[in-house]
Structure 1
Amino acid sequence: MRLIHRGSTDATLEIAAVGFSIAFTLLYLRGAVPVCYVAAFFGSVLFAILCWRKHIFAESALHVFYVGMAVYGLLATGDDWRIVSWPLAEHLPWLLTGAVATAAVGYLLSQNPLAHTPWLDAFTTVFSLIATWLMLAYVHENWLYWMVIDSAAVALYALRRLYLSAALFVLYLAMAVDGYFPQISWFS
């Protein structure tokens, strides 16, 4: 009986988290700032709980970070919302830092016998932190980061049998393509 209850609770959490997360990204793509961060807040809270329950610990911590970033985005967004573009040289320190941090977090997670897919969890978490910061700074290339992260996240969530979440990241991948290429307007 307990397994049935836990499973239905996880399914309900996942459905709600996915719904809020889709709402955030669609609103962000449409420039509905700062209201998109309200959806981000609720989706992040729910995903933090779900990931913890599924022993995806770094992702759970990532979603706690997202809660804070949703609050930051809500409070810090002004009327001067405009996209900037960085040359490759400005991305190199972020990429190097991300690689080193992924190795460190992956190693730490691999020491926990309950952690599933620690290296993949570390990669998606570390680079999501970087991409989130770039997103909040309105750096256009954040979408390139998300394309790679979302592809990896599909595998991460599918391996944990969170198929709706895996499908969400397929959708996120399509949204990242839409966000990066102005001539594509699947969602925006």
Structure 2
Amino acid sequence: MNDIVPLFGFTTTPLELVSFVLSVITVALNIRQTHWAWLFSILASGLYALVFAQSRLYGDAGLQLVFIAVSVWGWYQWLRGGTAHGELQISRLSGAGWAKSALMWLAGFGILSIFLKSYTDTDVPYMDGFLTAGSLLGQLLLSRKKLENWHVWILVDILYVSLYMYKHLMLTAILYALFVIMAAMGLRAWNNSAAVPAAVAGS
């Protein structure tokens, strides 16, 4: 799975390629609010943990393991986290929710950056820490079907493109460029869905 494979003028590995495909399927299903997205998220996260560890992106590698746990929780939330343990509906963050999210991102960035710089051999501790914290926040918001998860993912994915290009993970850089487009599509789709009353949407 680690053999170098030429693809469209750059190189990748079968492991990265399979992770790429599973990740695209995950986001596509998230946009459609299909709970099976969480299954593909678990599979993609497990494989990408190996890809990132091999590239010394330890924050991202560890994040994938957290994603697996959050995905299990998110799967339950989407199915039973709503009113009367029903299906969870899209909602928006309050002003306090925005502030709490920003503080969580900042705190995560500080803690992860210090840890990565002190205890690993990564050459990008600050960028890795910042994006790892942002990704974790985005995943948590997605798990609770908060519309703003797409805002977080758009920002994070744009920055990830440059990081993965720097790390010569070109297929993954392309994946995250695609994620930017898909996140914008997700924001539009969820915004339209949230504007439709639940009773109308279910009729």
CA–CA distance in 2 between the matches of 1:89 and 1:75?
25
Counterpart position of 1:173: 180
Counterpart position of 1:52: 53
Taking structure 1 as reference, are residues 16 and 140 closer, same or farther at Cα in structure 2, changes over 3 Å only?
Answer: same
Aligned residues with identical type, % of pairs: 21
CA–CA distance in 2 between the matches of 1:160 and 1:132?
23
Scaled by the length of structure 2, the TM-score of the pair is 0.81
> Is 1:154 aligned to residue 161 of structure 2?
yes
Unaligned runs of 5+ in 2: 6-11, 80-85, 193-203
Q: How does 1:17-28 map to 2 (within 5 A)?
A: 17-28=19-30
Aligned-pair CA distance for 1:107: 2.2
Aligned-pair CA distance for 1:114: 1.9
Q: Secondary structure at the match of 1:77?
A: helix
Q: Contact 1:178/1:184 (CA < 8 Å) preserved in 2? A: no
Q: How does 1:1-188 map to 2 (within 5 A)?
A: 6-8=2-4, 11-33=13-35, 35-78=36-79, 79-112=86-119, 114-182=121-189
Structure 1 runs of 4+ aligned residues shifted over 6 Å read none
Aligned-pair CA distance for 1:112: 4.3
Taking structure 1 as reference, are residues 72 and 175 closer, same or farther at Cα in structure 2, changes over 3 Å only?
Answer: same
Aligned residues between the structures: 180
Taking structure 1 as reference, are residues 92 and 104 closer, same or farther at Cα in structure 2, changes over 3 Å only?
Answer: same
Aligned-pair CA distance for 1:7: 4.4
Q: Secondary structure at the match of 2:13?
A: helix
